[in-house]
Structure 1
Amino acid sequence: MEETIPFKNLHSREYQGHKKKVHSVAWNCIGTKLASGSVDQTARIWHIEPHGHGKVKDIELKGHTDSVDQLCWDPKHADLIATASGDKTVRLWDARSGKCSQQAELSGENINITYKPDGTHIAVGNRDDELTILDVRKFKPIHKRKFSYEVNEIAWNMTGDTFFLTTGNGTVEVLAYPSLQLVDTLMAHTAGCYCIAIDPTGRYFAVGSADSLVSLWDISEMLCVRTFTKLEWPVRTISFNCTGEYIASASEDLFIDISNVQTGRSVHQIPCRAAMNSVEWNPKYNLLAYAGDDKNKYQADEGVFRIFGFESA
């Protein structure tokens, strides 16, 4: 079977700007800008041209007083972005001016953040396994819940009526939204579940686990369809490409795996020099951003991220 992307002919480009390692990369809804969040307490916005070699402009978002651990763009607005930090705040920024427009002070170190697909709510998870839902317009918490188990990455389904929690127990908790009533507990993995991604066609979601596997789930049946087995270390980050045909996954293995979602077969591996923290496909083009624990020859953080998928290096 022929793959629809000529992976073997594609190249990665490197982007430098941060002073310490990059924890999170995310594309805006139209695929024109990439945001990176770093341990250096800043986020940066990069204008990326999918074709050609335009000079990359970037602006710095300054204000957090601790690591920027995760960030996410407004799904309905290409210039609004939310950042979650260890400084206990969540901030909303205008990516054109680089100015912080809203700030919410929460109760713990924030490590996970995601937008509801209609852009009205933001969910934030912290190190103390507490979930906070923010109303975006008022930028105030409308719901808080503390869990008695480890809660990792969180996500809404495409329609926003179901909310998923990945847990340290190897389960995925499926909650109705907005009630947050438990609907189902999926026994997904034999070790903790760390990350979750929703396929853009709305048919599947995928879960990455400490058992080194990625599982693919049918969203209407809530059944596991297949697993991807290429990695050997705990899966830290996963992402579907814009058509839903491919899934990227990464860990402490020194490569990023790209597998065909339908066949389960690994079709390409991107070599890395360090453990990866974040992979994310562009929502319009087959460009994969990735960032990890890269260090230079003096063992200092490089503060770089890369994008794979260009026709020339």
Structure 2
Amino acid sequence: MQGAERRARDRGGKTAWKTHIIRQLRHRDRAQHAFQELIQSYNKLLEKSIFLKDLTEKIQTEPILSPGSLHAARILPEGAPDPPTLQQEISELRVYNGELAYQACELKKRVEEQDEELKRQKCSLSFLSARVEEHKHQGRCLENETAHMVCSNADLKEDYDHLLAQRLLLEGKLHDAEEQERELLGDMTRKKAMEAEHQNIINERRKEEMLRRLVGKALRKTVSADGIESSDSPQILLFWPPALPSVSVTLDVIQRRHTDVSDSSSSLEVSNSHEKERPTSRKTRSQSLISLGPSRVMGALRSLFDFRRQQDDGGVDDGWYHPSSVCVICCPPNRALYSKEVHDSEVHAVKFSPNSRTVATGGTDRVVKIWGIVAGQLHLQQVLQGSNGGITSIDFDPSGAQVLAASFDNSAHLWRLDSKSSDKLTGHTAKVTAARFKMSSYRAVTCSMDRTVREWDLHKASCIRRISVPSFCSDVVCSDSYMISAHHDKKIRFWDSRSPDCSREVTLEEKVTSLYMEPEQTQLLSCSRDDALRLLDLRTMSERLVFRADGFKCGCDWTKAILSPDANYSIVGSSDGTVFIWNAQSGVLERSLTGEHSASVNAVAWSVSGDYVVSVDRGKKAVLWSEY
């Protein structure tokens, strides 16, 4: 009985303290608000666990009493649980304490992480707050600037309105002045036309009187080039200007100067027969001119009367000979007669007309200017407008009445000097680099950086043939049967008018900047960026000569080189402003002209008469050169 009662008390006591612990834990869980309270509770629980551990160890060290040993049973305190049950509860408490410790560590770790995150957020918040303040300050500054700009714009608008009103007023005045200028020019033109007509009548009368006197003298006696009289056939000794040789011709040649070449040739043969009968000890200058052939003799005769007419038209003989279109032999120029800034910006192109008394220039100021050579100077005669881009090349038709120019506005422009009308050849999609007449006044060829070469009918201003090429085209020359184009891929291509394909190619060392074909169409001169000029024989398609010189450097991709009218010299300008002249027969450097150009020389032109050379450069200047 006593043992049963004791066990009942032990079970009741065991249940009571467990319940008490669970109640306290639940109360703690409900009451705790911070991690510190959890630590305190954990410490208290740990103390209790240590106490129970000591108690358990003490119980285990005491001997186990048998049921019959009543004295030993009375030693245990009243209400203490049995040893096996207490050991199990201690184990459960250890497991629970471990879980609580793990949870406490996890919570501590999370608290530390949250503290770190809070610190980072505080730093970010401080940085963003500073940025916000900075942006607010910038916003206030921008608002102040906006207000200032609004005021400034209002002032500028007021000034603009005032200037616009002044511009409209000045444009009205300019229009009135232009109207007055046109009226004055019209009056002056009419007056000059009347004066010119009157002067032409006087000149014709003078010419007829001079011819009558010459014919009268010829009928009275005969004078040869030696000054010896003869009675075989009447002859006249014509004394020419200093630039042309004198010539002894029969009276029949003068009377029939407008007949065909065969009649003129027969008359010259008669004169030559008389010359052979004279002694050979004295050579006359007439023989050198007669040896040139009947056509050039007749041209020289016409040039004599043209020269007389020019002197009569001018009213006063200025002492300068205006060269004819007959070129017997060329001599390289050695001095500059005249230099002048001919355009508002750099000059790219220059070309003489067939009469050798007119030269055209073009540049990046989008105009072509026509200059007359009078007394060794350039005098502006006409300004051709209509291009919307810089001028790259210029060409005259065989009659000299039309000017064809290539332009950077993707087109070529045709001006008729007699009627002052113009046409625009459109169709290219890139800069037109060259434009040339095809030995006639109604056919032309253009090349462009759009990799095409086009042939044009100038009567209709329409393209009649289009050739696609594999590279940028820098220049083109042509005859009636074929065309030759220069390209940036270092090649010269030949195109037959009867075939759409390239018939021949010639490869150089660098890209080709220009081509020039002599009038006889037997030689082709090329200029390339390897600082060399090459002369090709078109009959054998072989390279005859290569022209190089110390100091010569090709200045740009459109530098133009040409041959003299008699094809005895090649001439080109250098990047340092020097003009180089080579002998086209030997390849030796004949002469270099310096001292006039201070910028790269882009192009040169040699008059058909052989008397003048004009060079133009990137510094707006044109220089007129001559041998005399």
TM-score category, normalised to shorter length:
0.7 to 0.9
**In the alignment, what sits opposite 1:294?**
none
Distance 2:540 2:377 in 1: 47
3-state secondary structure, aligned to 1:84: strand
Q: 2:413 aligns with which of 44, 47, 58?
A: 44
Change (3 A) 1:209 1:180: farther
Q: 2:392 aligns with which of 23, 26, 37?
A: 23
C-alpha contact (below 8 Å) 2:572/2:603 kept by paired residues? no
**In the alignment, what sits opposite 1:238?**
604
C-alpha contact (below 8 Å) 1:204/1:217 kept by paired residues? yes
Residues 51-94 of structure 1: CA deviation (Å, up to 9, x unaligned): xxx5x10111111111111111112x221110000110000001
Shift of 1:206: 1.4
Task: Trace 1:220-259 onto structure 2 (pairs within 5 A).
Answer: 220-229=585-594, 230-259=596-625
Distance 1:216 1:40 in 2: 33
Shift of 1:139: 4.8
3-state secondary structure, aligned to 1:18: coil
5+ residue gaps, structure 1, are 264-313
Distance 2:578 2:498 in 1: 38
Q: 1:136 aligns with which of 474, 479, 497?
A: 497
**In the alignment, what sits opposite 2:428?**
64
Q: TM-score, normalised by structure 2?
A: 0.38
Distance 1:11 1:237 in 2: 19
Distance 1:255 1:9 in 2: 12
Q: Which structure would you say has the larger RCO, counting Cα contacts within 8 Å and 6 or more residues apart? A: 1
* 1:91 corresponds to 2:454: yes
Task: Trace 1:4-15 onto structure 2 (pairs within 5 A).
Answer: 4=321, 5-8=374-377, 10-15=379-384
Distance 1:146 1:219 in 2: 21
Distance 1:224 1:9 in 2: 28
**In the alignment, what sits opposite 1:216?**
581
Distance 2:378 2:470 in 1: 47
C-alpha contact (below 8 Å) 1:170/1:209 kept by paired residues? no
The structure with the greater share of residues assigned to strand is 1
C-alpha contact (below 8 Å) 1:196/1:207 kept by paired residues? yes
**In the alignment, what sits opposite 1:169?**
530
Distance 1:78 1:189 in 2: 41
Q: TM-score, normalised by structure 1?
A: 0.74
Distance 1:48 1:198 in 2: 26
C-alpha contact (below 8 Å) 1:198/1:206 kept by paired residues? yes
Distance 2:575 2:566 in 1: 26
3-state secondary structure, aligned to 2:547: strand
**In the alignment, what sits opposite 2:553?**
192
C-alpha contact (below 8 Å) 1:228/1:259 kept by paired residues? no
Distance 1:205 1:115 in 2: 19
* 1:73 corresponds to 2:437: yes
C-alpha contact (below 8 Å) 1:196/1:205 kept by paired residues? yes
Distance 2:513 2:581 in 1: 18
Amino acid at match of 1:248: V
C-alpha contact (below 8 Å) 1:42/1:63 kept by paired residues? yes
Q: 2:570 aligns with which of 185, 205, 224?
A: 205
* 1:115 corresponds to 2:481: no
Amino acid at match of 1:136: S
Change (3 A) 1:66 1:150: closer
Shift of 1:168: 2.2
Distance 2:548 2:577 in 1: 16
C-alpha contact (below 8 Å) 2:518/2:524 kept by paired residues? yes
C-alpha contact (below 8 Å) 1:102/1:139 kept by paired residues? no
Shift of 1:169: 2.8
**In the alignment, what sits opposite 1:154?**
515
Distance 1:3 1:221 in 2: 33
Amino acid at match of 2:618: E
**In the alignment, what sits opposite 2:96?**
none
Amino acid at match of 1:208: G
Change (3 A) 1:8 1:245: closer
Distance 2:535 2:561 in 1: 12
Change (3 A) 1:88 1:178: farther
C-alpha contact (below 8 Å) 2:525/2:563 kept by paired residues? no
Highest CA radius of gyration, 1 or 2? Answer: 2
Bigger mean CA deviation after superposition, 218-227 or 15-24: 218-227
Amino acid at match of 2:589: C
Distance 1:255 1:164 in 2: 25
Change (3 A) 1:3 1:231: farther
C-alpha contact (below 8 Å) 1:87/1:109 kept by paired residues? yes
C-alpha contact (below 8 Å) 1:129/1:150 kept by paired residues? yes
Residues 12-44 of structure 1: CA deviation (Å, up to 9, x unaligned): 422211122222221112211101111111111
C-alpha contact (below 8 Å) 1:201/1:243 kept by paired residues? no
Distance 2:550 2:385 in 1: 36
3-state secondary structure, aligned to 1:236: strand
Change (3 A) 1:80 1:148: same
Amino acid at match of 1:169: D
C-alpha contact (below 8 Å) 1:164/1:173 kept by paired residues? yes
Shift of 1:243: 1.1
Shift of 1:225: 2.4
Distance 2:562 2:546 in 1: 17
Change (3 A) 1:35 1:139: farther
Shift of 1:46: 0.7
Q: 2:467 aligns with which of 88, 104, 123?
A: 104
3-state secondary structure, aligned to 1:222: coil
C-alpha contact (below 8 Å) 1:168/1:191 kept by paired residues? no
Amino acid at match of 1:120: S
Shift of 1:223: 2.9
